[in-house]
Amino acid sequence: MSYAVRPLVLDEADFIASYFTDADDTFLRSLGVDPAKIMSHEEIWHSIARDLETPKDKKDRFYLVWELDGLGVGFSSIDEITVGKQANMHLHVAVSRERMKGHGAEFVKRSVPIYFDEFDLDVLYCQPYAFNTAPNRALQKAGFEYVETVEKVPGPLNFHQPVTRWKITREMMG
Ligand SMILES: CC(C)(COP(=O)(O)OP(=O)(O)OC[C@H]1O[C@@H](n2cnc3c(N)ncnc32)[C@H](O)[C@@H]1OP(=O)(O)O)[C@@H](O)C(=O)NCCC(=O)NCCS
């Protein structure tokens, strides 16, 4: 089993857009996402293309692709980026048959140092929906530390929900 993590290229923007636009409502709700707030395929594609061209300190989002034995099976991204300080991470094993096999935790472990180095971060946060067990478990396995549970609308695509805030610092990466 070989894992590779690398920055997304424009050719893969369709893969990310389709992951969200092809998803059924039940799946989206299980992630804490409000299906009514999902943008069109074209809007997602353009937002990815725009971010790829935007300098680091002005990016809305930065994406990493997760490859398993040479095949792209998922992706991670960060938003709320303050270069030299902190960012907020997202995680998705897009190919459903590859979930719950331990890959998510392995990919997160390999993504974190890339985010720290690329954006010179001190701390990286991740705040999944509290009732979505898989990311909460995967983050813990990847070395994140539980911070708190808060009720809020965590992002533009989400509904109001309890979110579990996790963090990892450069020192904690070991
Ligand atoms: C979140 C995600 C990236 C994690 O990747 P993964 O490869 O499935 O995760 P792992 O296999 O490394 O770990 C998942 C853990 O959650 C546990 N888990 C998942 N659902 C569970 C449930 N309903 N009850 C108990 N444990 C559960 C698994 O048993 C596993 O823990 P273990 O290894 O200690 O047994 C992946 O599941 C995914 O993409 N899900 C859909 C998108 C999503 O939810 N993204 C998060 C948005 S914040």
155 domain-assigned = no
Name every protein residue with a CB atom under 6 angstroms from any ligand 1 atom.
31, 90-93, 99-105, 128, 132-135, 137-138, 141
Atom in ligand 1 nearest the alpha carbon of residue 138:
13
67 domain-assigned = yes
First to last CA, the chain: 24
Quick one: pLDDT at residue 173? 83
137 domain-assigned = no
Q: Residue 101 sits in a domain of what CATH number? A: 3.40.630.30
Choosing from 76, 99, 106 the residue with most ligand 1 atoms within 8 A of its CB, the one to mutate for a pocket test is: 99
50 domain-assigned = yes
Alpha carbon of 136 to ligand 1 centroid (Å): 7
Tell me the pLDDT tens digit for each residue of 131-161: 999 999 999 999 999 999 999 999 999 999 9
173 domain-assigned = no
Alpha carbon of 137 to ligand 1 centroid (Å): 6
Q: What is the pTM of this model?
A: 0.97
Residue ranges making up the domain that contains 66: 3-122
The answer on pLDDT for 56 being more than 80 is yes
Tell me the pLDDT tens digit for each residue of 82-135: 999 999 999 999 999 999 999 999 999 999 999 999 999 999 999 999 999 999
Atom in ligand 1 nearest the alpha carbon of residue 103:
7
